[in-house]
Amino acid sequence: MSAQQEWSSGLLDCCDDKSSCCYGFFCCPCLACSVAGEFGENRCLPLCDICSPAVLSACGIPLFVPPAGLALRVGIRHRYGLKGGICKDIATSCICVWCSWCQMHRELKHRHKNPTVINMQPGR
């Protein structure tokens, strides 16, 4: 297994990409649906969070984990070999839903701008 790397931006690095955070601030469901689509999932997936008890989490009441947001965060972290763990993902998804979606959006923009190249050697 290769060494894990840091996220391309921190959770609170909204000033690094104001377009992502302004988009998320004015229409968080739109940003979440864009992130899901860019990751290759159904764009409507984040709407499950709105229809679940996780809506309290979106209001700043960290009692429930938004399932779609958490699943996408874990998926992005695993696909790109990013540092972190499920406990940190749960805490991030509960405490700051908007910041989490913005960070995932910035990460996907970074990855699409700088694709990961894997050099495979033939087996002997």
Question: Which structural domain range is residue 103 located in?
Answer: 14-113
pTM, whole model, 2 decimals? 0.74
In tens digits, the chain (124 residues) has pLDDT values of 567 899 998 888 877 776 666 655 667 778 888 899 999 999 888 887 776 665 665 666 656 677 888 999 999 999 999 999 999 999 898 888 888 888 999 999 888 886 556 666 776 5
Which residues pair with residue 36 across a beta bridge? none
Tokens found for residue 88 = 């940190």
In total, how many domains does the chain have? 1
Q: Give the CA angle between residues 111, 4, 93 to the nearest 5°.
A: 70
Task: Assess if residue 8 is contained within a domain.
Answer: no
**7 domain-assigned:** no
